[in-house]
Chains A and B, each alone.
Chain A
Amino acid sequence: MTALPAATALPLDLPGGPGVAQDLVGPVHRPVRTLLRDPLAASGLAIVVILGLAAVFAPLLAPHDPTVVDATGRLAGSSRDHPLGTDELGRDVLSRLLFGARWSLGIACLATAVVTVVGIAVGLLAGFYGGLVDSILMRIVDVLLAFPPLLLYLAVVGTLGPGIRNVFLALIAISWAQYARVVRGLVVSARRRDYVTAAVALGASGRRLMLRHILPNVVSPVVVLASLQVGGMILALAALGFFGLGAQPPTPEWGTMINQSRLFLQSEPTLMAYPGLAISLAVLGFNLLGDGLRDALDPRSRKAR
């Protein structure tokens, strides 16, 4: 009936949340506390958490099934039954927004997570081994970074055909390059540190050097980058949805919702405003959180305590 995946299929991985911070080696409580003390970062975290909860508990919170069409109550205004009104097919807008959070946030976060892992892996290999490996990988990165990302997304989705799965693949196929570039730079400088040389002198294997000695020291900036990038992912997803290439109706994805509401912009502007607001709020939340994380994880701010 609904096109929704099972709730567990889209783990709401919130990069930079306390869950991720815990994975960092080192004292956990300190960055988290720094983060919570910063009012902007704390509000960013609050927005992200609230949106995340809304997505997870959408089936409980939503007053209606987001895909049920009601031909008699089309384009209705706000009412007790439909707090945000109904759309052109009489579907409850609030419910669609709540379920839409699952798609928009879920896909964006999942894509960011995959991209982060791929980018770290590529960046580690390129930065650690250098030479030919580095040259080849970085030239691929150069190519990917040479075009506007949206153009490349369109090219990939245009080739694979529209649909949420292909959009997901396009996001991953293109976005890892940025992470790889950043990680490579960090690895190259970490590689030269004395403690890595010390580990080499002890006979540590390449894998051990990369995972144990270099990776933990490059994770923080990547976590920051990722949390800032979730916003970009949400926007890209919405843009592709707006072009009609992303989630196909009746799936309640925010960008798709904006696309469908554009015909009623004159008569029912709120129909477009609500998903637009949701997108802005989510992007704002992730960006505030990302900025806060950057400060909280900055080793200099930690040293200065």
Chain B
Amino acid sequence: MRAAGATPLLSVRDLVVEFHARSGVVRAVDGIDLDVHPGETLGVVGESGSGKTVSMLAAVGLLPAAPYCTVRGQVLLNGRDLLTLSTRDLRALRGREIGMIFQDPMTSLHPSFRVVDQVAEALLVHDSALADRQARTRALELLERVGVARPDRRVRDYPHQWSGGMRQRAMIAIAIANDPPLLIADEPTTALDVTIQAQILDVLRRARDELGAAAVLITHDLGVVAELADRVSVLQSGRVVESATVEEVFAAPRHPHTITLLDALPRLDRPLAERRPVAEAPPVLEVEDVAVHYANPGGGVVRAVDGVSLSLLPGETLGLVGESGCGKSTLARTIVRLVDPQAGRVRFGGRDITRARGRALRGVRRALAMVFQDPYASLNPRMTVGEIVAAPLRIAGCYRSSGGRRRVAELLDMVRLDPASADRLPSDFSGGQRQRVGIARALALSPRVLVLDEPVSSLDVSIQAQVVGLLDQLQRELGLTYLFISHDLSLVRQISDRVAVMYLGKIVELGTREQVYERPTHPYTQSLLAAVPSPHPERRSSRTLLVGEVADPTDPPSGCRFRTRCAKAAPECAEEVPALVVREGSDHPSACHFASTAPPGSPAGTSGSTPDAG
């Protein structure tokens, strides 16, 4: 696969990108050299702001025009310098010689054109002789090639009718439409679940191999790089700090920044720090048979949470894992009383808070705080950080009595933010810093339990590690109890005492960290674990992928809800709902008729090729 050919396909020399802001010149890329040989995949790795995306956008001329930014250096594609090409030549080359795949499949497809037509357009812009009908036929073939099941049935679909994973497949179809010799993928899986990420990486790998194309894979996640790349260039502050083969980088990283990134990578194969034993005590929070159903605007009832029971012991962390759409956020919102359940009870400190109102509810709000997923959306852009952190104190009417500004400074200090920054607006802070503000706000009233809804999912891997470290420390200092919700299994493994795995509104497996990670018995848990990118470039793709996507929650499959994606599925799975009980040969509850630690066999068909998304 790796071509050690003499002339690189893409050769970037001394690339400098400067942005001209009002406040001065920002040098985003500071003299980068990169080489991509034919058929080779280069991983470009770095944190947000390291210049990895900017350098690639600059290379294909997608940055804003001259007064806003200047690009210097040389970008040679097959010997032609892209930086000196006219707009017209560049346009002819984009799509035909370079296929781009962007990060966010939600925004990079046009919302008011049919998906098929968008794929067809990629063909039509480069071939005026092609008839519309032919282009559409080719588009359907392309969609089939990237694993969209029965695209001929989806001819009339618009992007909003497709899931994120499906849309990213469509993006890949567009990128490979003209058989370009070079693919550039900018964080192609960052917005996706692990299972879908594994599928997309697989599609990318096959697309690349079928075309024999070279690829540039831009990502902050070294795990993804280990899956796909041949060589790696690590970027920091606009410079390449290390460039080596992927095996060398993982086996013997040389630059300290590479080592930092590798250390920050949560991985399943690393021995874990022993967690403090949780004291025997009655649970502080109990969820009993909670069900949350709501009317779907498109008709039907979404059974977001369907009979979930959990309990949290004081001082422990319960990790709640599952794919998007499994109901974990709804469950979190139900616990903090943002959503009212249709059935079941939530008990806090032994008292039923499911219907608490007025004073009782205010008491609950003080003791049970929530940290939200998106640090950009969860802070009011018009309030200063100090005001945001003080808000719970003011609402509870104890701003003065708790010390006012002193308390705010103390809280900011607790989350390792400079107390002097209290007068600044959220827009002055980075994602990680904003999430610290969100944590400080949650801590303001000294709660006993924190519900953390994907608190680090939108952050860079290295920032994730810092925030998780902070959460861990706060838990020890303040004796907090956490419900830690995440779709990232390796992350949950780091911080949790016990783990609950959720699928389509139900808990399918529950146990201690060791039980769930070392002896998983539910096929879903096993598939999730298999989907985590392995930081071992030398043994990649020997795993079974979970096919398809989460089934339609308005019409869940009968019996076991996972059976449509399960390799072990048998006729009885469609009839009987498996209970969450401890089964023979296991030491923890699992909702599978065939629970066993043996991994599921290979699913029917090639992995990822036939997603039967509902």
Contact = CB atoms under 8 A, between A and B. Distances in A.
Interface stretch (B372-380, B497-505, B541-549): B372-380
B395 A195 contact: no
A245 B480 CA distance: 71
Contacts of B382: 24-26, 216-217
Contacts of B362: 203
A299 B374 CA distance: 18
Nearest to B363: A203
A200 interface: yes
A199 B393 CA distance: 11
Contacts of B369: 201-202
A20 to B, nearest CB: 15
B336 interface: yes
A216 B379 CA distance: 13
Name which of A24, A205, A213 has the most chain B CB atoms within 10 A of its CB. A213
27 contacts: A24-B382, A25-B383, A26-B382, A27-B425, A194-B377, A194-B378, A195-B381, A196-B380, A198-B370, A198-B378, A199-B380, A201-B338, A201-B365, A202-B369, A202-B391, A202-B395, A203-B361, A203-B365, A203-B366, A204-B391, A205-B395, A212-B383, A213-B380, A217-B380, A303-B427, A305-B21, A305-B22
Given A194-B377, A202-B392, A26 B425 contact: yes
Interface string A188-210: 00000111111111111100100
Contacts of B370: 198, 201
Interface string A26-68: 1100000000000000000000000000000000000000000
A205 B395 CA distance: 8
The list of the 4 closest CB pairs from A to B, nearest first, reads A194-B378, A203-B365, A216-B382, A194-B377
Nearest to A27: B425
Interface string B349-388: 0000000000001100110011011100111111100000
B92 interface: no
Interface in A5-38: 24-27
A195 B378 contact: yes
A39 to B, nearest CB: 17
Contacts of A202: 365, 369, 391-392, 395-396, 441
The SS class assigned to the B binding surface is loop
B23 interface: yes
Nearest to A26: B382
A28 B392 CA distance: 26
A56 to B, nearest CB: 32
A193 B381 CA distance: 11
A203 B23 contact: no
Nearest to B425: A26
A199 B369 CA distance: 11
Nearest to A302: B427
B457 to A, nearest CB: 13
Contact of B395 (A194, A203, A302): A203
A253 B391 CA distance: 49
Interface string B226-247: 0000000000000000000000
Given A25-B382, A27-B425, A201 B336 contact: yes
A207 to B, nearest CB: 11
A155 B458 CA distance: 56
B377 A195 contact: yes
A299 B3 CA distance: 48
Contact of B381 (A201, A203, A299): A299
A224 B374 CA distance: 29
A197 B370 CA distance: 10
Nearest to B22: A305
Contacts of B438: 198
Name which of B366, B395, B425, B441 has the most chain A CB atoms within 10 A of its CB. B395
Contact of A197 (B23, B372, B425, B427): B372
Given A25-B382, A203-B362, A198 B395 contact: no
A96 B441 CA distance: 59
B470 to A, nearest CB: 19
Contacts of B396: 202-203
Given A25-B383, A195-B379, A201-B336, 18 more contacts: A25-B382, A26-B425, A194-B372, A194-B373, A194-B374, A194-B377, A194-B378, A195-B380, A198-B438, A201-B337, A202-B369, A203-B362, A203-B366, A204-B391, A213-B383, A216-B383, A217-B381, A305-B23
Contacts of A25: 382-383
Interface in A151-203: 193-203
B425 A198 contact: no
Contacts of B336: 201
Name which of B337, B361, B366, B391 has the most chain A CB atoms within 10 A of its CB. B391
B338 A200 contact: yes
A186 B383 CA distance: 18
Contact of A208 (B338, B395, B441): B395
Contacts of A213: 380, 383
A198 B372 CA distance: 8
B475 to A, nearest CB: 20
A220 to B, nearest CB: 9
B135 to A, nearest CB: 35
Nearest to A33: B22
Contacts of B338: 197, 200-201
B437 to A, nearest CB: 11
A194 B438 CA distance: 11
Contacts of A200: 338
A203 B366 CA distance: 9
Contacts of A303: 427
A198 B369 CA distance: 9
B374 A198 contact: no
A24 B381 CA distance: 12
Interface string A272-305: 0000000000000000000000000001001101
Contacts of A205: 395
Contacts of B365: 201-203
A303 B382 CA distance: 13
Contacts of A208: 395
Contacts of B379: 195, 198
Interface in B69-109: none
B391 A199 contact: yes
A222 B21 CA distance: 29
A201 B371 CA distance: 10
Contacts of A305: 21-23
Nearest to B444: A202
A198 B21 contact: no
B361 to A, nearest CB: 7
Contacts of A196: 380
A203 B441 CA distance: 13
A193 B395 CA distance: 19
B554 to A, nearest CB: 21
Given A198-B372, A201-B336, A201-B338, A193 B383 contact: no
A42 B427 CA distance: 27
Interface in B40-77: none
